């Protein structure tokens, strides 16, 4: 029998790096994100970069995905007990268990074969489709005043198919036999036989709002019974011993209130162990729910982004947002984030703009700050960013450990500093930083530098001559990081394009 070291080396070759299409930012997508590729911090290694005409070059980089030859790994695992013991740790790195709670048949099959010896550490609950019930389309009274709700009529439509498939009232919708006693029993059977889980992902479907013309708008409506029963089950499930070693938690939930509900199941001991946290709010209804809606109203104004529940000429809110506004319940999200003292990676997506200044992170005394940070549709100030990135006071003499930062659709408070200083601080004060992705970084209209606000529908900064220094500071940061990586050819191009893209002339 080969020595354990040789077996380890053989198996390690079945996990290979892939640099093609490495994401330069943690983009939010329906039913998932690029967090799996953006967040892991792997050591630099020489990798073949294939060029055109069959040529290639060898580059040393830490910007790569890790892929596995799963078939060979699984076959090798069956060879002997020794190979089983060698292969299983590698399988745990790259394999995950998906539990389709929308299919009673699939859950039944899984319950029959599930054993605590399964070589998986990652558990995923893919999109709970039954949680989204229907789309409600509103028609507004053409004589309504701007500040008065006046819905002339509405019609409920199925998510797929013809609206004639059922009557246009919620009570007549097809009954969804989801999370009934049989479903819960199957899930409990699966849960009781799970191995220790390190990474858990829970995903709910996205609700989007639309504004079709001057008098019509729509929003996806949730089945509140399905949402509440699902949240209740997973809250209790998270308190089970299976999750006592959870280090990676990813929640894609309808609203901020659901974050507080779900995470009640995690005691402080469990929160102390969480290193990587992703929270995406997926109810994107309402005027400030999606970036595309901002051209309907003034994107620089606080009050218009707060929005009313219903206003004429605006995007309607879902039933979830009517009952539990993301902004009004956001403290439940921030309280949970703040109670995880050992975080190394944090990804927050707030559809209706959340306020980072409301986060009070009780970081551990020996924390050197986050290593990976991604924020989308969040209001910030320079001080609230620094609170996440700088070391704790007891280790203030150490350097920050930030490696990757991604900011998209982020606004600075009126008294929150300016982007030029933030870019310069990132370049000069974070020696381990390797990726910086900045898109749609703006100000509110009362900020002294509001002139550099972007158009909501554009993908790049709107250049104003008096604020060109901000763009140059952003580019100087990108150029600094590209040089550290070995040049622009070795730096993820998704982070920043060429200097010409920003409308600047090279000095």
Distance (Å) of CA 279 to CA 273, 297, 325, 334, 348: 17, 27, 16, 10, 5
Range of the domain at 81: 4-94
Residue 373, classified by CB atoms within 10 Å of its CB into exposed (0-12), middle (13-18) or buried (19+), is: buried
Cβ–Cβ < 8 Å for 155, 137: yes
Residue 413 within any structural domain of the chain: no
Whether 69 and 216 share a structural domain: no
Residue 301 within any structural domain of the chain: yes
Buried b vs exposed e over 234-245: b needs ≥16 C-beta within 10 Å?
A: bbebbeeebbee
Cβ–Cβ < 8 Å for 26, 39: yes
Whether 131 and 258 share a structural domain: yes
Whether 60 and 112 share a structural domain: no
Residue 204 within any structural domain of the chain: yes
Given 71, 94, 117, the domain boundary residue is 94
Whether 104 and 238 share a structural domain: yes
Cβ–Cβ < 8 Å for 99, 110: yes
Identify the three-state secondary structure at position 220. strand
Query: Which residues are registered as beta bridge partners of 249?
Result: 200, 277
Residue 367 within any structural domain of the chain: no
Whether 230 and 124 share a structural domain: yes
Q: Cα–Cα distance between 135 and 158 in angstroms, integer?
A: 6
**pLDDT the model gives residue 184:** 84
Closest to 351 in 3D by CA, of 252, 437, 239: 252
Whether 45 and 120 share a structural domain: no
Q: Is the pLDDT of residue 291 over 70?
A: no
Whether 63 and 108 share a structural domain: no
Residue 324 within any structural domain of the chain: no
Residue 441 within any structural domain of the chain: no
Q: Give the pLDDT confidence of 237-246 residue by residue, as tens digits.
A: 999 999 999 9
Distance of CA 102 to the CA centre of its chain: 23
Residue 435 within any structural domain of the chain: no
Which residues contact residue 251 at a Cβ distance below 8 angstroms, ignoring those fewer than 6 apart?
201, 202, 259, 262, 263, 278, 279, 280
> What is the arrangement of strands in the sheet containing 151-157, beginning at the earlier edge strand?
151-157, 132-140, 216-222, 207-213, 283-284
**pLDDT the model gives residue 208:** 83
Cβ–Cβ < 8 Å for 256, 326: yes
Q: Give the pLDDT confidence of 347-361 residue by residue, as tens digits.
A: 999 888 899 999 999
**pLDDT the model gives residue 151:** 60
Given 272, 288, 315, the domain boundary residue is 315
**pLDDT the model gives residue 164:** 47
Neighbours of 330 (CB within 10 A): 24
Given 74, 94, 114, the domain boundary residue is 94
Mean pLDDT across the chain, nearest whole number? 81
Q: Give the pLDDT confidence of 133-162 residue by residue, as tens digits.
A: 988 888 776 554 444 455 667 888 887 544
Cβ–Cβ < 8 Å for 244, 200: no
Which residues contact residue 137 at a Cβ distance below 8 angstroms, ignoring those fewer than 6 apart?
154, 155, 156, 157, 216, 217, 218
Neighbours of 328 (CB within 10 A): 14
Percent of the chain with pLDDT over 90: 36
Residue 177, classified by CB atoms within 10 Å of its CB into exposed (0-12), middle (13-18) or buried (19+), is: exposed
Q: Cα–Cα distance between 460 and 458 in angstroms, integer?
A: 6
Residue 408 within any structural domain of the chain: no
Of 80-84, 321-325, 387-391, 443-447, the poorest mean pLDDT is in 443-447
Instruction: Tell me the torsion sign for CA atoms 261, 266, 271, 273.
Output: negative
Query: Which residues are registered as beta bridge partners of 355?
Result: 379
Confidence tier at 463 by pLDDT (50, 70, 90): very low
Whether 112 and 75 share a structural domain: no
Whether 85 and 119 share a structural domain: no
Q: Is the pLDDT of residue 171 over 90?
A: no
Whether 64 and 54 share a structural domain: yes
Closest to 434 in 3D by CA, of 374, 378, 371, 384: 371
Whether 278 and 132 share a structural domain: yes
Q: Cα–Cα distance between 282 and 254 in angstroms, integer?
A: 5
Mean pLDDT calculated for residue range 280-295:
75
Cβ–Cβ < 8 Å for 437, 481: no
Neighbours of 72 (CB within 10 A): 13
Whether 101 and 90 share a structural domain: no
Q: Cα–Cα distance between 341 and 362 in angstroms, integer?
A: 5
Counting the structural domains of the chain, the total is 2
């Amino acid at each position: 029998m080969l020595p354990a070291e040789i077996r380890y080396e053989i198996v390690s070759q079945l996990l290979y790096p892939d640099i093609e299409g490495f994401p330069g930012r943690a983009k939010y997508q329906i039913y998932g994100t690029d967090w799996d590729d953006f967040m892991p911090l792997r050591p630099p290694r020489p990798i073949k970069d294939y060029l055109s005409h069959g040529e290639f070059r060898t580059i040393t980089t830490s910007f790569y995905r890790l892929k596995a030859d799963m078939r060979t790994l699984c076959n090798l695992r069956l060879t002997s007990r020794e190979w089983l013991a060698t292969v299983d740790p590698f399988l745990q790195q790259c394999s995950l268990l998906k539990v389709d709670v929308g299919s009673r048949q699939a859950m039944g099959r899984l319950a029959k074969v599930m054993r605590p010896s399964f070589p998986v550490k990652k558990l995923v609950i893919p999109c709970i489709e039954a949680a989204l019930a229907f789309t409600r389309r509103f028609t507004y009274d053409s004589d309504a005043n701007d500040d008065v709700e006046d819905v002339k009529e509405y019609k409920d439509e199925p998510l797929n198919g013809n609206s004639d498939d059922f009557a246009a009232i919620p009570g007549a919708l097809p009954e969804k036999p989801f999370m009934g006693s049989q479903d819960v029993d199957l899930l409990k059977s699966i849960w009781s036989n799970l191995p220790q889980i390190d990474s858990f992902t829970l995903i709910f479907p996205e609700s989007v709002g639309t504004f079709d013309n001057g008098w019509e708008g729509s929003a996806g409506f949730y089945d509140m019974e399905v949402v509440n029963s699902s949240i209740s089950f997973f809250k209790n499930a998270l308190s089970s011993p299976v999750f006592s070693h959870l280090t990676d938690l990813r929640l894609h939930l309808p609203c901020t209130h659901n974050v507080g509900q779900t995470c009640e199941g995690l005691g402080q001991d469990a929160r102390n162990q969480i290193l990587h946290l992703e929270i995406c709010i997926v109810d994107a209804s309402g005027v400030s729910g999606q970036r595309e809606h901002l051209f309907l109203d003034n994107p620089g104004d606080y009050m218009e982004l707060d929005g009313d529940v219903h206003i004429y000429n605006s995007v309607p809110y879902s039933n979830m947002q009517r009952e539990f506004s993301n902004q009004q319940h956001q403290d439940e999200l921030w309280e949970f984030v703040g109670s995880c003292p050992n975080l190394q990676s944090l990804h927050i997506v707030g559809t209706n703009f959340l306020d980072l200044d409301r986060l009070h992170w009780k970081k551990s005394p020996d924390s050197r700050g986050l290593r990976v940070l991604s924020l989308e549709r969040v209001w910030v100030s320079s001080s609230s960013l620094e609170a996440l990135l700088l070391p704790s006071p007891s280790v203030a003499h150490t350097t920050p450990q930030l490696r990757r930062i991604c900011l998209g659709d982020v606004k600075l408070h009126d008294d929150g500093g300016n982007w030029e200083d933030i870019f310069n601080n990132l370049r000069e004060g974070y020696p381990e930083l390797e990726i910086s992705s900045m898109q749609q970084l703006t100000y509110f209209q009362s900020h002294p530098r509001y002139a550099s606000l972007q158009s909501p529908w554009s993908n790049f900064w709107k250049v104003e001559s008096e604020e060109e220094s901000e763009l140059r500071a952003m580019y100087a940061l990108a150029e600094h990081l590209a040089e550290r990586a070995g040049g622009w050819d070795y730096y993820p191009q998704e982070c920043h394009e060429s200097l010409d893209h920003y409308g600047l002339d090279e000095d």
